[in-house]
């Protein structure tokens, strides 16, 4: 075998080795990606189960209140109007609890080169009918709002914004009030407070 043949053979072996290494890298990457997908699914399931558990605790507490009213009043003889009113209120709370959305944030992210901001809004309760976003900010504007929007339990949607002016998106200050309602048209308000990708979500408030 001459010198040129030896060089070509070595180059082929090196190339095959590189392809093998690259293939192994792709395999490991795919394996890690599959693991991350499984982790994300398990995290989502855990979040939903925790939400369902909290709802059950609240429901059981309301049932306990009803039992106490029956035990300690003359409601069965129709002689306690106050107790009847309390029972009606509890039944209304149970109904609202059974259809209540439970919105939460899975963080936010931004692109520094074009000032784009993306907020990850999720629902771990019953369906939420998102009707409006009320933005308070001199640093960003919302876009692609797609409202009204039906946000099912276990699903997510993104809120998109971009910077305006000269301030970098990571330093943008903003407040976004989210208005939404449940299946029985009970209306709620919840507010995102953010600075760049750092976001927090207030407790929901029922709108009378």
Taking only the tens place, the pLDDT of each residue in 120-136 is 999 999 999 999 999 99
Max avg pLDDT among 5-14, 32-41, 187-196: 187-196
pLDDT confidence of 194, banded at 50, 70, 90? very high
Whether pTM exceeds 0.75: no
110 and 53 in a single domain? The answer is: no
Q: Burial of 201 by CB count in 10 Å (0-12 exposed, 13-18 middle, 19+ buried)?
A: middle
Q: Is the distance from CB of 110 to CB of 138 less than 8 angstroms?
A: no
- The 10 Å CB-count burial string (b at 16+, else e) for 39-73 is eeeeebeebbeebeeebeeeeeebeeeeeebeeeb
CA distance 140 to 104: 21
Q: Which residue, 45, 70, 98, sits at the end of a domain?
A: 98
- Based on C-alpha coordinates, what's the Rg of the chain? 28
CA distance 168 to 61: 48
135 and 175 in a single domain? The answer is: yes
133 and 87 in a single domain? The answer is: no
Whether the predicted pLDDT of 25 surpasses 70: no
The encoded tokens of residue 97 equal 């609890």
Taking only the tens place, the pLDDT of each residue in 80-115 is 677 677 777 878 888 888 889 999 999 999 999 999
Is residue 143 helix, strand or coil? strand
121 and 200 in a single domain? The answer is: yes
64 and 7 in a single domain? The answer is: yes
Whether the predicted pLDDT of 16 surpasses 60: no
Q: Show the CA angle centred on residue 140, arms to residues 134 and 146, nearest 5°.
A: 50
CA distance 132 to 146: 10
CA distance 157 to 155: 7
Q: Note down the domain range covering 76.
A: 1-98
Q: Is the distance from CB of 196 to CB of 171 less than 8 angstroms?
A: yes
Q: Is the distance from CB of 101 to CB of 150 less than 8 angstroms?
A: no
Q: Which residue, 98, 127, 145, sits at the end of a domain?
A: 98
183 and 160 in a single domain? The answer is: yes
Q: Is the distance from CB of 141 to CB of 132 less than 8 angstroms?
A: no
52 and 123 in a single domain? The answer is: no
30 and 110 in a single domain? The answer is: no
pLDDT confidence of 143, banded at 50, 70, 90? very high
β-strands 187-195, 155-163 pairing = unpaired
The encoded tokens of residue 136 equal 């308070």
Q: Which residue, 82, 98, 114, sits at the end of a domain?
A: 98
> What is the residue whose two structure tokens read 């979500």?
201
């Amino acid at each position: 075998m001459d010198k040129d043949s030896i060089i070509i053979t070595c180059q082929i072996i090196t190339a095959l080795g590189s392809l093998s290494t690259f293939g192994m890298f792709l395999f490991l990457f795919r394996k890690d990606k599959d693991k991350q997908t499984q982790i994300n699914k398990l995290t989502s399931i855990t979040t939903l189960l925790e939400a369902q558990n909290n709802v059950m605790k609240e429901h059981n507490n309301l049932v306990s209140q009803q039992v106490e009213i029956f035990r300690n009043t003359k409601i069965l003889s129709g002689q306690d109007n106050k107790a009847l009113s309390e029972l009606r209120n509890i039944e209304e709370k149970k109904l609202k609890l059974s259809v209540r959305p439970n919105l939460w944030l899975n963080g936010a992210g931004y692109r520094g080169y074009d000032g784009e901001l993306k907020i990850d809004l999720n629902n771990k309760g019953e369906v939420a009918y998102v009707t409006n976003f009320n933005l308070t900010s001199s640093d960003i504007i919302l876009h692609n709002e797609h409202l009204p929007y039906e946000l099912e339990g276990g699903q997510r949607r993104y809120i998109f914004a971009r910077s305006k002016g000269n301030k970098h998106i990571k330093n943008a200050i903003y407040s976004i009030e989210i208005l939404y309602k449940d299946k029985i048209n009970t209306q709620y308000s919840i507010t995102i407070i953010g600075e760049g990708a750092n976001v927090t979500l207030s407790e929901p408030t029922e709108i009378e």
